[in-house]
């Protein structure tokens, strides 16, 4: 990168300071050379071998000093330019990485560049963690509703392209609000965690589960038709029915049950919204009829 192009990216005050440094280290040696030559050579210039040798030596020394000043200024500028550029990228969220080299500046400037690189690396990792955490429910560790809606859309598009089924399950825990009031926050949260663990046990690496709201969950089963999905849902329901909050429902004063809705493309719709709405409607309809503990009605 040419030095003038590098300086153009620097702040105004720093550009002025670097211009002065360049003048002191490059231009002044040339002027000093001319002055020394004027002292050693009488004017008008007599082109004799001695005068020419003196003039050549003075000019050579002056040019060497000027070139040395240019190189020193260049070595000062480049690390500062890279450090400023990296800092600007960090501020803009770009997190571009730049590796310092020993030939471009002092150890202090290289340390600064390395420090900025470390800040950039940490900032990028932090953003990745924040993005990942924003997709997960803090309590259960399952995905959020926004993630599951987007993932369902992707899976439906993939299923349509590959001409394969994809099923969606919506699950409502009947009476959970009453249980949460009677048993307390700590007990209800532990129950939700236990339900999440049960759901996760039945997932493959391609399946996804989400905690939609306090008492509602959803699951995506790519590549599985409704019949297979209902079998999986029944296994999940059987395990949830054995949990203490279900077994002691009478003690807490609520009717234990699970309302489940299952949908499959393209039978129940061609889009993710179609499948989502269909499953929710079926689960809600089951709940309005008093709930249930199975999904036999959705074969």
Q: Can you spell out the DSSP letters for 244-273?
A: HHHHTHHHHTS--EEEEEEEEETTT-SSHH
pLDDT at 180 (0 to 100)? 87
pLDDT at residue 232 in the model: 93
Distances (CA, A) of 189 to 82, 135, 164, 171, 172: 50, 19, 37, 17, 16
Token look-up 């550009």 returns 15
Q: Are 40 and 58 in contact (CB under 8 A)?
A: yes
What's the CA gap between 283 and 257, in Å, rounded?
12
Q: How many CB atoms lie within 10 A of CB 221?
A: 26
Per DSSP, helices labelled H in 93-143 are 107-134
What is the residue extent of each domain of the chain?
Answer: 3-131, 145-298
Instruction: Tell me the fold of 145-298.
Output: Alpha-Beta Plaits (3.30.70)
CA 241/CA 62 separation, integer angstroms: 92
Q: Please give the chain's pLDDT, 299 residues, in tens.
A: 444 544 555 566 666 666 676 666 666 666 666 666 666 665 555 566 766 676 677 767 777 767 776 676 666 666 666 666 666 666 665 655 544 444 444 555 566 566 666 766 666 665 555 555 568 888 999 999 999 999 999 999 999 999 999 999 999 999 888 888 888 899 999 999 999 999 999 999 999 999 999 899 999 999 999 999 999 999 999 999 888 888 777 777 777 789 999 999 999 998 999 999 999 999 999 988 765 544 544 43
**Which helix H or strand E contains 205, and what residues bound it?**
none
Task: Note the pLDDT of residue 1.
Answer: 46
Question: Which pLDDT does position 102 carry in this prediction?
Answer: 46
Model-level pTM greater than 0.95?
no
Within 10 angstroms of residue 140's Cβ, the number of other Cβ atoms is 20
DSSP state of 44: S
pLDDT at 103: 46
């Amino acid at each position: 990168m040419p030095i003038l192009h590098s300086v153009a990216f620097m702040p105004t005050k720093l550009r002025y300071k670097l211009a002065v440094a360049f003048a002191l280290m490059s231009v002044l040696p040339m002027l000093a050379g001319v002055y020394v030559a004027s002292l050693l050579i009488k004017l008008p210039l007599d082109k004799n071998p001695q005068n020419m040798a003196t003039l050549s030596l003075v000019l050579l020394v002056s040019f060497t000093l000027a070139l040395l000043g240019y190189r020193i200024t260049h070595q000062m500028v480049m690390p500062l330019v890279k450090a400023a550029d990296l800092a600007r990228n960090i501020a803009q969220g770009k997190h571009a990485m730049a590796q310092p080299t020993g030939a471009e500046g002092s150890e202090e400037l290289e340390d600064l560049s390395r420090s900025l690189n470390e800040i950039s690396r940490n900032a990028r990792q932090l953003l990745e963690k924040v993005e990942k955490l924003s997709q997960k429910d803090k309590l259960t560790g399952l995905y959020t509703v926004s993630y599951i809606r987007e993932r369902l859309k992707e899976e439906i598009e993939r299923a349509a392209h590959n001409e394969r089924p994809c099923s969606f399950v919506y699950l409502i825990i009947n009476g959970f609000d009453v249980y949460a009031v009677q048993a307390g926050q700590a007990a209800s949260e532990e129950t939700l965690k236990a339900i999440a663990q049960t759901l996760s046990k039945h997932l493959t690496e391609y399946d996804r589960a989400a905690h939609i709201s306090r008492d509602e969950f959803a699951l995506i089963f790519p590549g599985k038709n409704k019949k297979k999905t209902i079998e999986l849902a029944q296994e999940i329901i059987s395990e949830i029915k054995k949990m203490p909050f279900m077994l002691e429902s009478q003690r807490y004063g609520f009717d234990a049950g699970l309302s489940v809705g299952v949908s499959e493309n393209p039978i129940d719709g061609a889009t993710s919204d179609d499948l989502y709405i269909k499953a929710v409607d079926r689960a809600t309809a089951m709940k309005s009829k008093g709930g249930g503990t199975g999904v036999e009605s959705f074969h």
